[in-house]
Amino acid sequence: MTDKYYSIKNNFFFYIIFFACFGFAFGQNQEDTNYYSLLDSAEVYVDDNPKAAKGFLNAIPQPLEKSIKGRLAHYYQLSGLINNKNDNPIIEFQNFSQALKHAKLEKDYDIAGWVALELFFNTYIIKKDTTAFKYLDKAKHFYSISNNTNGLAEVDQMYAYVEFYNNNYAKSNKLLLGSLDRFKNIKEDQYYYMYSLFMLSSNYTHQNDLNKAHHYFNLLKSLKNDKTIPKSLYLTHFVTLNTCFAETHLNQKNLDSTLFYLKTSGNFRKAMNVSDAKAYFNLYVDYYSQLNNEEAKNNYLDSLQLINQQQYEKSVNASLEINNALANTDDKLVKATKISDNNRLLIIILVIILFGLGVFIALRYKKIKYKFNQFTKRNDEFEFMQTNHEKLKVKVRGLEDYISELKKELRTITSIDNSTEHKEKIKELYKNIHHHSSTFLAKEENYLDLINDLNIEFFTQIKTLHPKLNDSEIIICYYLFLGFKNKEIAAFLNSSTRAIESKRYRISKKIDNLDNNYTLVEYLNDTFKDSKTRTI
C-alpha cells in the first residue's frame, strides 16, 4: 500500500515537472547566452572610447527584450551617452526617452533619475522648452525613491545652471556658493564639485571679474588627476572655460591673451563638443577680423561651414534612422502578432491537456492519500496499544510482587499477641501501603498512557501536533483536558501544585498556537474536542 502510494505521488510530480519544463523550453530560444557582459564592457569605454562602446552594444543580438531582459534602461542610457559624444542630439534624446520608459518598468530609479536630468538638459537647453522642468521634477522624485543623495545634489545644481544659462550670473553664483561645501564633500564623485567650479569660473568671467574667475578655475584644474572624474569629462569643461576666457579677453581687445587661451583650447580640440567647436572657430574669425587677416579668417569660416554641414547631415541621418526604426517596429509588430496568435493556440491546447491530466491525477491522488492516511492511523493505533500492553504486563508483574510481599507481612502481624504492638504494626502497614501505592505508578514514564488506554485518539493526535512535548507534559495536558485543577493533578502525580504550574508554563511555550488571549485549557478543548466523546 505504502509503496504504491509513493509511486503514484512520484508520477504526479514527474508529470508536473515534465510539462513545466516543456512550457519553459517552448518560451525560450535554443541558445542561452549571457550578453550582460557586453553592456558592462560598453560602460567601461563609453567616456574615453565611444566607438568601442558602440561596438559592444551592436554585438548584442536582437531582440533586446530577450538578450538583455531587465537591463534595457542601461542599454538605452549608454546609447544616449554615445550619441552625446558623437553630437547626435536627436537620437540622443530618443535614446534617453527609451531609457526613462524602461527604467520605470524595471524600477531602476537611479537610472530613471539620471536620464530625467539629461532629458531636462536636452529639452531646456537645446529645444528652449520650459516644459523641461517636468523632467527635473521627475529626476527629484526618482532620486528620492532610491535615496540617492548625490543625484539629489545634482538636481539642486541644475537650478544654478538654469540661472547661468539665462545669464543671471549673480543669482547663479549665490545658489552655487551656498552649496559649494556640500558638493566638495561628495568625495566619491568630485564631478559635482568640478561642475560647480566650472559655473563659478564662467559666471565671474562673464561679469568681468577675472580674479575670482581664475581663483575657481585654478581649483578646477587641481582636480585634473582626480580618479572619480572621467578624463574626457574634465577636459570638456577645461576647454569650455579656456574658450570663455578667450572671448572675454577678445571683448577687452587683449589679443595676446585671446590667442593664448585659443591655443590652449586648440590643444584639446578632440575634447570639444559641437557648441564649443563653433564658439572656438567664431572667436578665431573675430580675432583675425581685428587683425585684418582675411585669409586666416576665411579658413575658420570654412571650418564653421563644415561643422554646420556635418550637423545637417547628422540631423538627416538621425531622421532616417528614426524612420527606419519605426518601420522595423511595424514589421516586428506584425510578426509578433502572428507568432502571438500561434502561441496562443498552442498554449490553449496545452492548458486543456494539462487541466485534464491535473484533474485525473488530483482525483487519484486524493483517493490514494485517503487510503494511506487510514492505514497510517490504524497502524499508529495498533503500535500504541501494543506498547501499552507490554507496559501493563510489566505493571501487573510489579503489582503481583508487591501484593505477595504484603501477604507475607500480614501473616507476620497476625501472629503477634501483644495488642499494642499489633495496632502499631497495622498502622505502620497502612502507612506503608499508602506510601507505596502513591509512588508506584509515578515511577512509570508513561503514567497517563497506562491509566487512560481507551483514549488513544487524544495521545496519537497530540504527539503528532506537538512532538516537542514529553510524556509527563502530555499527562498534564490530558488531565487539564478532562477538567482537573492543578491541586488535583498534583495529588494524582504525587507532585506539588507549584511544580504542576511550572510545567504548564513550559507546555504553553512549546505550543506555537498560543498567545496572550488564548489559554492552554481553551486550546486543548478546541483542538481535541472530538476526543471528549472517547474519554473514560
Burial 336-356 (b: 16+ CB within 10 A, else e): eeeeeeeeeeeeeeeeeebee
Predicted confidence at residue 444, as pLDDT, reads 41
- Mean pLDDT, rounded, for 498-516: 86
Residue 535: pLDDT band with limits 50, 70, 90: very low
Provide mean pLDDT across the span 403-418.
70
Average pLDDT over residues 481-499: 84
Mean pLDDT within 259-286? 88
pLDDT (0 to 100) of residue 358: 83
- Residue 446 scores a pLDDT above 50: no
Nearest to 35, CA basis, from 9, 65, 5, 14: 65
Cis status of the peptide bond prior to 63, with omega within 30 of 0: yes
Residue bearing the bigger pLDDT, 109 or 17: 109
Instruction: Note the pLDDT tens digit of each residue in 186-245.
Output: 999 999 999 999 999 999 999 999 999 999 999 999 999 999 999 988 999 999 999 999
Q: How far is CA 92 from CA 86, 118, 315, 531, in A?
A: 9, 10, 11, 76
Say yes or no to pLDDT of 362 above 60: yes
Report pLDDT for 419: 61
pLDDT at 428 over 60: yes
**pLDDT value at 156 more than 50:** yes
Compute the 3-state secondary structure of the chain and give helix, strand, coil in percent, each to the nearest 5: 80, 0, 20
| Lookup: cell for 478 | 490530558
What is the four-CA torsion angle of 227, 230, 236, 238, rounded to 10 degrees?
0
> Which three cell numbers, joined as nine digits, stand for 261?
587661451
* Tens of pLDDT, residues 24-59: 444 444 344 678 999 999 999 988 899 999 999 999
More confident position, 115 or 377 = 115
Q: Is the pLDDT of residue 440 over 80?
A: no
Minimum mean pLDDT among 47-61, 278-292, 510-524: which range?
A: 510-524
Top-confidence residue, 387 or 318: 387
User: Does the pLDDT at position 447 exceed 70?
Assistant: no
What is the C-alpha separation between 282 and 301, in angstroms, rounded? 8
Supply the pLDDT for residue 29.
44
Range of weakest confidence among 298-302, 389-393, 411-415? 389-393
pLDDT at 123 over 90: no
Give the confidence band of 454 by pLDDT, cuts at 50, 70, 90: very low
What pLDDT is attached to residue 441? 46
Supply the pTM of this predicted model.
0.48
**Predicted local confidence at residue 322, as pLDDT:** 52
Percent of the chain with pLDDT strictly greater than 90 = 31
CA dihedral angle for residue 439, residue 440, residue 445, residue 449, rounded to 10 degrees:
-110
| 8 class by beta-carbon count within 10 Å (0-12 exposed, 13-18 middle, 19+ buried) | middle
Q: How confident is the model at residue 334 (pLDDT cuts 50, 70, 90)?
A: low
Q: What is the pLDDT of residues 193-206, one digit of tens each?
A: 999 999 999 999 99
How far apart CA 501 and CA 398 sit, in angstroms, is 31
| pLDDT band at 448; cut points 50, 70, 90 | very low
Q: Provide the mean pLDDT of the chain.
A: 80
First CA to last CA across the chain, in angstroms? Answer: 34
Residue type, 467: P
Residue 142 burial class via C-beta count within 10 angstroms: exposed 0-12, middle 13-18, buried 19 and up? buried
Mean pLDDT of all residues in 264-268: 90
Of the CA atoms within 13 Å of residue 291, those in its CB half-sphere come to 18
- Which of the two residues, 512 and 444, has the higher pLDDT score? 512
DSSP per position, 35-102 = -HHHHHHHHHHTTT-HHHHHHHHHTSPSPHHHHTTT-HHHHHHHHHHHHHHTT-HHHHHHHHHHHHHH
pLDDT for 172 equals: 94
